Amino acid sequence: MYQPKFPLKFSDIDGAYESIRDIKLNIKQNVLFLLKTSPGEWPGHPEIGVGLKHFLFENYPSRNLLAINKRIKDQFSKYLPFLEVESKIIDKDQYGNALTDYNQVKLVVKYSIAPINDADFVEVAIAE
């Protein structure tokens, strides 16, 4: 079964909306949804979600912001158990400049997809 591709677009081929047909892209969308969903937001499953937007105004390095890695591990082990996940907060750009000077930090989540023997990552900006 395929899930709709976001942002939603009408499709004459897939039915109402364009679908994601690639398993790797399907998993990537599930990873992003899990990261961006806030606990209490999903009907019938109030515990699901990392809730990245709750970390938006956290100072770096705060205890709450650094605890995000444990929250990610816990959520992935419960809701996407077929993925091995590693997350890291990035506070410097590729040139070594501090992102905190621009009120930013990035979260990089790398994951291995055991059933298809592949890996991927997502990068999400968390502004202070």
- Say how far apart CA 128 and CA 48 lie, in whole Å: 24
Contacts of 22 by beta carbon, 8 Å cutoff, 6+ apart: none
pLDDT of residue 127: 60
Domains of the chain by range and CATH?
A: 3-127 (3.10.450.40)
Q: What is the DSSP string of 4-63?
A: E-SS--B-SSSSSB-EE--HHHHHHHHHHHHHHPPTT-STT-TT----GGGGTTPPTT-H
Supply the pTM of this predicted model: 0.83
pLDDT at position 106 over 80:
yes
Distances in whole angstroms, Cα of residue 26 to Cα of each of 31, 42, 50 = 9, 19, 19
pLDDT at position 119 over 70:
yes
Q: What is the pLDDT of residues 38-82, one digit of tens each?
A: 999 988 889 999 988 877 766 667 777 778 889 999 999 999 999
Are 19 and 5 spatial neighbours (Cβ–Cβ below 8 Å)?
Answer: yes
